[in-house]
Amino acid sequence: MVITVDDQPGSLLELLWVREAHQLQPGGDDLPPLLSETPLVVRDSAVDAETRAAWAEAWPRVWDAAAAHAGEKRDPGVFEEIQRTVVGSTERADLLHRIVGPNWRDLFGDTAFNSASYRTWSDAAAHTQLMALPAKLEDSPERRSLPGLIRAWQAGLTKIVSIPCRGEFTRTVGRTGLLLTNTTREDSDGYQRALRTFV
């Protein structure tokens, strides 16, 4: 049994940060909850109300695409292919995009990240995650929820994507992935409920 756990899904973390730091109010009824660690609000004169409105309108679409990609199993052969390409070539850029997937920067560039707020939040979130790592393997969320994990794997689950958001939230992403909050994953009962949604 092989299941990949991605608890640092870069594109999703950036999207979650952009939504809160820029106080976007995207529409949609299936959006993830707010971040567990609220970032500092960005006050940038280059990001006006019109820009924020465009960002808020695009946010759910980018989220859906990035979440679907995050739930996919990666082809390890892509890394070998990249090594055989020329630095700066279109072929290399295409292969890198297959790994990274859809993301905020593809559509809007780096404008949203021109603030110390992102680095501050990102560093704090990484520290929180590091401090939450279990001391023993048997204390890991997957080990504690092994029976449910096995059933989900038998049903086709190959990837778990965990995001640092408040409360319980679980969604199937792609054909073989499960997106859930760290809160859900860290609570044995919550994790079992989440895994049952895949079966």
SS3 32: coil
Using pLDDT thresholds of 50, 70 and 90, give the confidence band for residue 164. very high
How far apart are the C-alpha atoms of 82 and 92, rounded to whole Å?
6
Instruction: List the domain boundaries for the chain.
Output: 4-196
Please report the pLDDT score of residue 132 as a whole number.
84
In the sheet with 170-173, reading across from the earlier edge strand, the strands are: 4-6, 159-163, 177-181, 170-173
For residue 135, is pLDDT > 90? no
Please report the pLDDT score of residue 46 as a whole number.
82
For residue 167, is pLDDT > 90? yes
What mean pLDDT is reported for the chain?
A: 93
Using pLDDT thresholds of 50, 70 and 90, give the confidence band for residue 134. confident
Using pLDDT thresholds of 50, 70 and 90, give the confidence band for residue 144. very high
Structural tokens at position 53? 């409105």
Using pLDDT thresholds of 50, 70 and 90, give the confidence band for residue 13. very high
73-104 pLDDT tens trace: 888 888 889 999 999 999 999 999 989 999 99
104-119 pLDDT tens trace: 999 999 999 988 899 9
For residue 45, is pLDDT > 90? no
* Phi, psi angle pair for 185, to nearest 5°: -65, -35
**CA-based torsion, 44, 36, 28, 170: positive or negative:** positive
Percent of residues, the chain, with pLDDT higher than 70: 100
Rounded to the nearest angstrom, the gap between the alpha carbon of residue 5 and the centroid of all alpha carbons in its chain is 11
**Residue for token pair 């970032």:** 39
pTM over 0.85: yes
